[in-house]
Amino acid sequence: MSNLNNQRLILNFNRLRIVPYIAIGCLIFYLNSNLDLNYIVKGYLVLMESQLCIILIYFLSAKFTSKGHK
């Protein structure tokens, strides 16, 4: 028999930090896949939206984590 019952699922905060980036990436892919635009324009939109979302997630996470340390 295996020892699966003895093992506990441990989630670190560092492992969960990637979840917002994956969610935003999936959302950007979903929204841009339905557009009927040129591939160059789609690529440009994906790059611009990705950069904007990464910056927003960075500032929001910095704001929320700084409150937790005080």
Is 38 part of a structural domain of the chain?
Answer: yes
In a domain, 9, yes or no: no
pLDDT of 28:
84
Residue 9 has pLDDT above 70, yes or no: no
pTM: 0.60
Pick from 47, 16, 17: which is nearest to 29 by CA? Answer: 47
Number of domains in the chain: 1
- Amino acid identity, position 28: I
Per-residue pLDDT of 21-67, as tens digits, reads 888 888 888 888 888 888 898 889 888 988 998 898 888 888 877 76
Is residue 12 a part of any domain in this protein? no
Containing structural domain, residue 55: 17-69
Residue 57 lies in a domain: yes
The pLDDT value given to residue 67: 63
Q: What is the DSSP string of 1-66?
A: ---GGG------HHHHTTHHHHHHHHHHHHHHHT----HHHHHHHHHHHHHHHHHHHHHHHHHHHH
41, 43, 46, 52: CA torsion to nearest 10? -80
Is the residue at 54 inside a domain? yes
